[in-house]
A and B are shown apart, each in its own frame.
Chain A
Amino acid sequence: MSEKLVFDAPEIMIDRPTHYCPGCHHGVAHRLVGEVLTEMGLVDDTLCVGSIGCSVFIYNYLDVDAVEAPHGRAPAVATGLKRAHKDKFVFTYQGDGDLASIGLAEIVHAANRGEKISVVFVNNTVYGMTGGQMAPTTLEGQKTTTSPNGRSADEHGLAIRMSEIIGGLGGTAYCERVSLDSVKNIRRAKKALRKAFEMQVNGTGFGFVEMLSACPTNWKMDQIAANTRITEEMIPYFPLGVFKDVTKDGEE
């Protein structure tokens, strides 16, 4: 019997165990990005703009040129970098504190300007790296180290839905929210990345993919329970779907 290898890590993935916690979806998100870059033949032309959060070390796991951006500023750094190298593929990879809190102006304006960059937004409703503080995407009632009694609408406002905001901006070419909690959703997430990346490659415009993810450590849940929380609590509040697709002219 001869066999063939049907699934393996693409070469772009550096063979180094990650520092991410067990059950953290950064590993999945990194791999999907690596797979799509590989399948689209973009690896040699990729410039990664890392951000501040657990994923600051993305440059240790993807074998591409990278620059480290200050907290929240990756879309601005990517803007400058893409303007300097229009023929290269520039993407940012950001968490919810980085993108939706301190970086809110930068992401909205980069999207609104229609910068030809791609943004991978990993939303786990909490500040991971700094130990589990409340984030703009923390859900109502969710306990964090800075909302010890649970997020309250009165005191903190409600969680921000970023894809809805980005999808509503003129310069956005593609915006989709996906999830990494199931095999079916992971397959869809990969397709979403591909669509967003194609927007850049084809010169169409700004692409944005929000990926719902878990943070078992800061949610104080085991990995499987944390994964289930995405399905049962996050998806109902952060609905999956395409919020803008300029190539579909009114469909979807």
Chain B
Amino acid sequence: MSDTKRIFIKGNEAISRGALAAGCTCYFGYPITPQNDIPEFLSTEMATVDGEFVQAESEVAAANMLLGAAAGGARAMTTSSSPGVSLMQEAISYMAGSELPGVIVNVNRGGPGLGDIGSSQGDYFQSTRGGGHGDYRTLVLAPGTCQEGYDMMIEAFDLAFKYRNPVLVLADAIVGQMKEPVTPWEPKAADNHGAEDWRIDGAKGREKRLLKSLFLEDGALAGQNRNLQSKYEAMQAEARADVFECDDADLVVVAFGSIGRIVKSTVRRLRSEGKKVGLVRPLTLYPFPSEVLRDLAKKGKRFLTIEQNCGQMVDDVRLSVRGIADSEFHGHMPGDLPGSDDFLAPIIKHLED
């Protein structure tokens, strides 16, 4: 059966294929390294699902096209990399405020500014704290393998419609550009969670619908914000993490994405040497798997957060274990390609401290 046939593809292609499997019918994008494989692949492949492909004039435009298609209830997405995602923030904020579903993929590259075209995790804050203006959040999924790139796209669309919210898939240049075997699979029929009841598609035989984020009447914006906050509360149930070798660990390393995957190799190696170290690899960055970490903290574990930035996820780890434990931090600078050897010394150091 073709579903179990593995293909050897780049992470960017896995993400693209996952989107198609998820039932994406509209893609809007703009060229930017290191994710150009995605618009290039989809420029031919969207036609195979009778979908729409638009290379927009800018990331600003692409994100707003996403907003428009989402308003129509379509499974739509855009992809970019760090500087382009910065440009998309206004539209994402509007989507969150108007409660529109959509998927945005950020193949994180080095920053700030033009940065470089290598991997980085420097967009963690941007991804998990809304990113644009106002009190909103997007769900954030963090693939660390090409397979996860595929799988998480299917999850992302589903979550977007379940919560009527934008969902960000935070990949990085390593995941995007590396090639791995991926097993494509078809999910069961897409569930748009009642989109027919809120999308705009012509007010025939019903009251007109208005998708907006402006609330000027006295108390209206407060009401909308309360509404959004209770949604984000409900979203907490979606928190997930890959918990590896933590049961008897003295030190728990917390790492996500490509770094999480590299750290996993390091942990395996250290375990084979008898070291009691484990890994919590968050798969959702928002909602953050705080409960998992807190439970481990209560069992007396110590924590070391490793990420390819100057210290971002470590704040969330510390918040998760506050009052009980703390987290050390080891940052791998954006601009230096990481390898598993890079994390041996810091982990051993913190294990033995």
Contacts and interface: CB of A to CB of B under 8 A. Distances in A.
B74 interface: yes
Interface residues of A, number: 34
Interface of B: 25-26, 28, 52, 54, 56-58, 60-62, 64-74, 76, 90-91, 94, 98, 200-205, 208-214
Contacts of A63: 203, 208
A70 B98 contact: no
A78 B69 CA distance: 8
Contacts of B26: 80, 83-84
Contacts of A85: 72, 74, 201-202
Contacts of B204: 44-45
A113 B65 CA distance: 13
A66 B90 contact: no
A49 B71 CA distance: 10
Given A68-B98, A77-B68, A80-B65, 16 more contacts: A47-B201, A65-B202, A67-B67, A67-B68, A67-B211, A70-B64, A70-B90, A73-B67, A76-B61, A77-B67, A80-B69, A83-B54, A84-B25, A88-B201, A105-B60, A105-B61
B54 to A, nearest CB: 7
Interface of A: 43-47, 49-50, 56, 59, 63-70, 73, 76-85, 88, 105-106, 108-109, 113
Contacts of B25: 84
B61 A109 contact: yes
B46 to A, nearest CB: 10
Nearest to A88: B202
Contact of A76 (B65, B72, B73, B213): B65
Given A59-B212, A65-B208, A83 B202 contact: no
29 contacts: A43-B203, A44-B204, A45-B202, A47-B201, A49-B68, A59-B210, A64-B203, A64-B208, A65-B201, A65-B203, A65-B210, A68-B212, A68-B213, A69-B94, A73-B60, A73-B61, A73-B64, A76-B56, A76-B64, A77-B67, A80-B26, A80-B28, A80-B66, A80-B70, A81-B69, A83-B65, A84-B68, A105-B60, A106-B61
Residue picked from B65, B201, B205, most chain A C-beta under 10 Å: B65
A45 B208 CA distance: 11
Contact of A66 (B69, B73, B211): B211
Contacts of B210: 59, 65-68
Nearest to B211: A67
A contact face: mostly helix, strand, loop, or mixed? helix
Contact of B72 (A43, A47, A56, A66): A47
A105 B26 CA distance: 21
A46 B202 contact: yes
Contacts of A81: 68-69, 71-72, 200
A73 B209 CA distance: 20
A177 B192 CA distance: 42
Nearest to B58: A105
Given A59-B210, A109-B57, A69 B64 contact: yes
A79 to B, nearest CB: 5
B68 A76 contact: yes
Contacts of A68: 94, 98, 210-214
A46 B72 CA distance: 12
Given A84-B73, A84-B74, A47 B65 contact: no
Contact of A80 (B76, B98, B203, B213): B76
B69 A83 contact: yes
Nearest to B93: A70
B203 A44 contact: yes
A45 B200 CA distance: 10
Contacts of A76: 56, 60-62, 64-65, 67-68
B208 A106 contact: no
Given A44-B202, A67-B212, A84 B76 contact: yes
A70 B132 CA distance: 13
Contact of B64 (A50, A65, A77, A83): A77
B209 to A, nearest CB: 5
A105 B57 contact: yes
B114 to A, nearest CB: 20
A230 to B, nearest CB: 29
The CB with the most chain A CB atoms within 10 A, among B58, B64, B208, B211, is that of B64
Contacts of A84: 25-26, 52, 68-69, 71-74, 76
A78 B70 CA distance: 11
Contacts of A56: 214
